[in-house]
């Protein structure tokens, strides 16, 4: 008995949480606070991140405005310090401030406590490695194995590594602000009427300050940090208030951010939504004209509109597509040496500006490029591409295996092939399992709305019938 006890592994942050524990989705670990995302989970995530991140430098932690943020930051800090790591706490900040500081300070990595565009009762943890990129899948798997207690994949034998210390480094936000202002290369915004929707979230930490520093004539909505109201009927997922304010103010443009400010959607002076595809096309066109876009290449995801792809090809550009998620865009950009990439949802990555999705940086680039050229966003949109009609239907499929392996369902797979053949290159079908919800997403895009509606309805019906069959 004593012999057995002698060989037991010591778990300095408690026993593993078991196989049902939340793992990394398309953008970190995310879920309901108190059930899926708990202090116990954060404690262990901190500890295991402390084991996989390279030694030497501090580990940085930032957070958005959610009320649960300080609790989770404290638990993550406890886990990291139990792994012997020094923790630097940035406090309230946009997500891109963390990878920016990692690169600037040669830190070992960083974590961001945020559930992005999710409602206030959710929270999450994004993890960045020493390069400032999201943690590699191999490193994520070690952390997940540690959380679940998978034998052999992760070992707690290192045990208690001594106590690291925690330092308040809220001063680092000022470095991020300076980098944002420097990114526009002296371009100014005097006389430019702009509306900002800061979403009660991370953008409230510095969004107003940086636009004011460049002389913009500002109207600010939801401009303070409020953890109970973050993302509620505002920000990049709810654009009605921004649209109304732009029209009421006669503004040149408006920008809305999500909870952690790593993405942005815009509204032009006519009230039209400007999504990530439009931003990539417009910013990409400017870089193309200046000879600053390597191989004329833009990286986007499978969700990007076919109208965008065709218009970009007509300019002589190349569009490379990846899986959904800015981490995949990031990887492809690095592999291909691409200068610009992003997602329809408004995550835009610029190689010249550090390769992190950054809503504030994107908004500043768009605003100053336009204002310098004497254009409004509406002028720019008038010269842009016409998106193909697109419909996305979410089909609830509770069975995870059936959802993820839908290609093995012959009737659905054949129906997709039939749809693609019928559209004859003038449309496309995308079927994918959600990474965060029990949904199968069926997206159809074509030159004509009638075709889109017909095939989206047909394919969703086939998915429901065959994947949910008893």
Report strand pairing: 217-221 vs 193-197: parallel
Query: Cβ neighbours of residue 168 under 8 Å, at least 6 residues apart?
Result: 89, 91
**Could you give the C-alpha distances from 326 to 26, 38, 46, 134, 345, in angstroms and in order?**
8, 25, 23, 9, 10
Axis crossing angle, helix 449-467 with helix 410-423, rounded to the nearest 10: 170
Kindly provide the b/e burial profile for residues 396-410, where b requires at least 16 CB atoms within 10 angstroms of the residue's own CB: ebeeeebbeebeebe
CA-nearest of 306, 278, 281 to 296 is: 281
Q: Which of 116, 350, 356, 384 is catalytic?
A: 116
Query: Cβ neighbours of residue 350 under 8 Å, at least 6 residues apart?
Result: 283, 339, 340, 361, 362, 365
CA-nearest of 175, 378, 344 to 270 is: 378
Give the SS3 label for residue 267: strand
Contact present, 245 and 219 (Cβ < 8 Å):
yes
Could you tell me the end-to-end alpha-carbon distance of the chain, in angstroms, rounded to an integer? Answer: 49
Report strand pairing: 29-32 vs 122-128: antiparallel
CA distance 326 to 333: 10
Burial class (CB in 10 A: 0-12, 13-18, 19+), 457: middle
DSSP assignment of 408-426 equals G-HHHHHHHHHHHHHHTTS
Burial class (CB in 10 A: 0-12, 13-18, 19+), 186: exposed
Query: Does the annotation count 116 as an active-site position?
Result: yes
CA distance 468 to 470: 6
175 alpha carbon, distance to own chain's centre: 22
Active site residues: 116
């Amino acid at each position: 008995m004593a012999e057995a006890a002698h060989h037991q592994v010591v778990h300095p942050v408690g026993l593993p949480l078991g196989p049902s524990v939340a793992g990394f989705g398309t953008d970190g670990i995310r879920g309901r606070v108190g059930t899926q995302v708990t202090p116990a989970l954060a404690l262990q995530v901190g500890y295991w991140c402390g084991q996989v991140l390279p030694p030497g430098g501090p580990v940085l932690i930032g957070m958005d405005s959610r009320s649960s943020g300080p609790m989770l930051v404290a638990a993550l800090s406890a886990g990291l310090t139990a792994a012997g790591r020094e923790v630097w706490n940035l406090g309230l900040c946009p997500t891109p401030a963390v990878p920016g500081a990692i690169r600037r300070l040669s830190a070992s990595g960083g974590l961001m406590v945020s559930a992005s565009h999710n409602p206030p009762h959710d929270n999450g943890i994004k993890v960045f490695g020493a390069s400032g990129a999201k943690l590699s899948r191999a490193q994520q798997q070690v952390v997940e194995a540690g959380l679940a207690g998978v034998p052999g994949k992760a070992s707690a034998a290192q045990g208690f590594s001594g106590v690291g210390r925690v330092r308040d480094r809220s001063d680092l936000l000022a470095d991020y602000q300076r980098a944002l202002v420097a990114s526009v290369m002296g371009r100014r915004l005097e006389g430019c009427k702009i509306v900002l929707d800061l979403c009660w979230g991370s953008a409230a930490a510095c969004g107003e300050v940086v636009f004011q520093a460049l002389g913009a004539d500002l109207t600010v909505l939801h401009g303070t940090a409020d953890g109970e109201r973050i993302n509620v009927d505002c920000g990049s997922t709810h654009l009605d208030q921004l649209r109304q304010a732009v029209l009421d103010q006669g503004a040149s443009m408006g920008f809305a951010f999500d909870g952690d400010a790593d993405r942005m959607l815009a509204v032009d002076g006519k009230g039209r939504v400007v999504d990530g595809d439009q931003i990539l096309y417009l910013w990409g066109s400017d870089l193309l004209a200046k000879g600053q876009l390597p191989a004329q290449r833009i990286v986007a995801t499978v969700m990007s509109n076919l109208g965008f792809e065709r218009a970009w090809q007509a300019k002589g550009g190349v569009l490379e597509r990846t899986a959904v998620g800015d981490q995949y865009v990031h990887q492809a950009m690095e592999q291909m040496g691409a200068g610009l990439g992003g997602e329809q949802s408004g995550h835009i990555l610029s190689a010249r500006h550090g390769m992190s999705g950054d809503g504030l940086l994107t908004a500043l680039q768009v605003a100053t490029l336009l204002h310098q050229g004497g254009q409004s966003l509406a002028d720019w949109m008038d010269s842009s591409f016409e998106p193909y009609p697109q419909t996305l239907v979410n089909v609830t499929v509770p069975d995870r295996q059936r959802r993820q392996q839908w290609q093995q369902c012959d009737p659905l797979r054949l129906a997709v092939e039939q749809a693609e053949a019928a559209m004859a290159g003038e449309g496309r079908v995308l079927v994918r399992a959600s990474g965060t919800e029990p949904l199968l997403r069926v997206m159809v895009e074509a030159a004509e709305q009638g075709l889109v509606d017909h095939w989206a309805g047909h394919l969703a019906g086939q998915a429901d019938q065959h994947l949910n069959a008893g």
